[in-house]
Amino acid sequence: MAQIERAEYWAQKDDGKGGKVKLYVYRKHMAGLAKGTPVLFLVHGSSASGRSSFDLDVPGRNDYSLMNHFAGLGFDVWTVDHEGYGRSDRTDSHSGIASGALDLAAAMDIVRRETGQDSVFMYGGSSGALRAALYAQQNPGRVKRLMVSALVYTGAGSPTLAKRREKVEEYRAHPRRKVDRAFVHSMFTRDKPGTSEMIAADALADAELALGDTVPNGTYLDMCANLPVIDPLKISCPVCIIRGEYDGIAAEPDLLDFFAKLPSKDKQFVFISDLAHAATLSINRHKFWHAMTSFMAMPQNRALAI
């Protein structure tokens, strides 16, 4: 069986002050990559970087890497650490949703250079869903199909955001917040304890804390004080919204309102039982991965008979 290969790149983004921000870009695919292999780009959330989120090495297990899974299915899989996260430059920027969309544009320049492809499949979770959706909104034609989970639109009815709003002035005042092992554990237990294995939480904490113990506050601030930051009427590509049963970040009426406004009729709203916020690293992650695979495998439209 062919081996999965990895590669690392550096993208550059203007910092708005005459300088550049270096962004770490990471890629996995099967050896002997064929020209035209479909590209899947993965967009991380507020509290963990791309490589740790999507290519997690869990001791004694080989079934947690989303990148390995989709590389094995024949995709050319990419991700980026957003400004201030992981291996990318750690700046004094809040690194909010708008900044994240610019990070994706810079990373996509690398994807285009290396693959020759202008359009990709894209997935984002939580604030990554907002980054990915904003990128699709601002760059029509660059995203073939958009998949999002733990999305928020207006934030109405969100218990998680209601709790975070208690610290909104702290988020405004400080560009970064501390993270520790207990916080990483809370990402897996906050909504419904038991929906994730804690060996995955420990593995994520090990991977992230080795890179630093702070992350930017911008996405928290945007999700608490600046929603909506995307306009569903301006997202023209097909969209799949995946909603975990126990996810506390978004209320169903808010998501259904967003879904109804999407202009493309090639869209899906998928509910998955026994799934919480940490969807791609949960016990039932394979159900989630199946929903992504099915949406990307949708046949192209054929012209109607007249």
- Give the per-residue pLDDT at 255: 97
Question: Is residue 242 within 8 Å of residue 149, measured between CB atoms?
Answer: yes
Q: Quick check: helix, strand or coil at residue 284? A: coil
Q: What is the pLDDT of residue 42?
A: 98
Give me the residues of the chain with pLDDT under 50, please: none
Nearest to 4 by CA among 57, 45, 53: 57
- 24-to-12, 177, 215, 224 alpha-carbon distances in Å: 9, 21, 15, 27
* Phi, psi at 268, each rounded to 5°: -140, 145
Domains of the chain: 4-47+77-295 (3.40.50.1820)
Query: Which residues, listed in sequence order, are joined to residue 78 by a DSSP beta bridge?
Result: 27, 41
Which pLDDT score, from 0 to 100, does residue 301 have? Answer: 84
Q: What is the DSSP letter of 86?
A: T
- How far apart CA 91 and CA 88 sit, in angstroms, is 9
CA-closest candidate to residue 222, choices 90, 158, 131, 92: 131
Beta bridge partners of 5: 29
Which pLDDT value is given to residue 306?
76
0.95 cut: is pTM over it? yes
* Distance, CA of 2 to CA of 221 (rounded, Å): 44
pLDDT single digits (tens) 144-186: 999 999 999 999 999 999 999 999 999 999 999 999 999 999 9
Q: Which amino acid, residue 116? A: G
pLDDT of residue 249: 92
The SS3 of residue 215 is strand
